[in-house]
Amino acid sequence: MLEEANTAGIPVIIVDQMINTTDDSLFTCWVGSNFRKEGNIAVEWMETTFKDRADLKIAHLQGNK
């Protein structure tokens, strides 16, 4: 679809999640969050906030959309 839009001269703006492509020329720009950075900030906060809690248990949940 990106190639079809590019061929037709239609600019593509990707919002939220990046599309897996090796050709960055097929889209104009991407607008979204840096989830890795957000996760790192959250971990730093947890380390500082809960550093004295030996009984703390954290569950990391993942899944499909």
Provide the token pair at 61: 């949940």
Closest C-alpha to 5, from 33, 25, 31: 25
Cα distance between residue 47 and residue 12, in whole Å: 40
The secondary element (H helix, E strand) that includes residue 15 is strand 13-15
pLDDT digits (tens, 9 = 90+) for 17-61: 888 899 999 999 999 988 889 999 998 999 899 989 888 888 888
| DSSP-derived pairing of the beta strands 29-31 and 13-15 | parallel
Q: What is the pLDDT of residue 5?
A: 95
Instruction: State if pTM tops 0.85.
Output: no
